[in-house]
Structure 1
């Protein structure tokens, strides 16, 4: 299975998706028909008219991490915990697209652009409620701990999103603030996915801690890779127009690194982004060149490698079964090698 041209999804991800998708579909079937239709569209199972979609949904990276997390504790798969992480991820994307005004998601119209903002908001709320419901009715021994972990994760995710929104109104965002935002908005859910399986099966606390630390670093590396794609990624890889983050004046990590570099290029970039009105394509290309000249691209690439190396050290310290260790590293590399 391939997620993008030339990029092969790790086998562990494909296998986890086959295990978890029936649980997800059963959960969504509990919703009222109107909300279920929006959710099914957003999850990639159906088109706007409710007919089965040929793509069949997302890659299920976070459920795969959760399944491997349970196996790290030498336990059977805890599929409700894995499904819950995907439901939270889907909830966050539904709301994120509305807040960012992104009309495209996975190479087709975003749910809010098809069904309207109110319907998409309600679908996101419903998926979040389903996530908690699945965990609380799960028969894994640590289900209550897993539910608490997921609730704290959602709080951290929302805090990161709130910072991201605040940054839109500020011209003085620091790189440390931007890293903290990314840790909440992106890193928290990946850290949760990497540890929730072990928590749900009542695995050792130190093991869950090591897996969470691994996931937090992978999450930051993933965000850095995603931010690089947001400037230099091809539409075939991102599903969005080229230079999209500069077009929206997003305070992404490489852009903030450039803006805070203390260089002439960084100052020129700040002046370009402060101009009123939509930026012409030529100006966007100039801005991308200035991000690179100011060191933003090189910093983001080096920081992503640093975070991935740190993740590997946390994983090595966890003492995992060799197959689980290898599968987790495969997913980490896949997440951070996204075609840029």
Structure 2
């Protein structure tokens, strides 16, 4: 059965928070979420999310790009399946992305649309997204870790997350050698049996600083060190750090394209592969990358920092891929995360339970989220 899109809606939400997310590249002082709802001619719908957490107002640009360029292109075609739609629209918008010098925003918009079409298709076939993707048995739970921890409040956040059911935690680093060592040593010392600790430098070190920091922090028995250097640095630099590090290196959230991911996996410097499906590729790209990573002996740990729609998408794809990996679960203040994905699953004993309802298994509570709604737009196919 082909996909014929009849209507697309876009919803931009924004919520102020008391504690910004702090990273080596800057802070995220407010939480923005850009959701899209796609409906076919039979009235079946699906939800998607467009990555927009940084810069703080990047969602405003993306919703205009989506309504003026992506929607007209999407509404004008008929597609065999979601993958066909993503490939077709990627080719169709390729020159536009180059001309506008915006390959990232274009990829994010197409990734969100791809997710919505996969959710729609799974709902239409009355299957969970994970069962639609995988021909084999899929797990109803995935391992999860608490992400986004600020270094200055990490101890308090770990205590809160431990109480909430998490058994693995990732803290931000690259704030200076003294602070990094103090925070990581304190958290590592206080871990309980079975708990794990990771760090994320957010591309915050140059090679000379990474040469010092990676061995020093890795000595604390970390599960991985994430993005020690910028994602686009030469493979020779990643190779050197992989040899220097006593623990695996992680990355992939800032990588785009099948060729780039194939190179990353084949080179073997990343033990943990972390594509962000809503930055590039959608479900179509992430599922392919995840399977390749696991088949090559790597762990697949999808990146996500947004609302519950994107979180559930990452969890469903992780389950479908199978193999080693954990779900990144942002735990910093964000009222939109749960309100926009109901009923919201709760972590228990370190695992995230997946809904049994069709598609993603959740629906945004638009009524409860009305106070955070900034912009809503609607687009319909011509009859």
Fold similarity call, TM over 0.5? no
Higher relative contact order (CA 8 A, sep 6+): 2
The TM tier, using the shorter chain, reads: under 0.3
Q: TM-score, normalised by structure 2?
A: 0.23
Q: Which has the higher helix share?
A: 1
Q: TM-score, normalised by structure 1?
A: 0.24
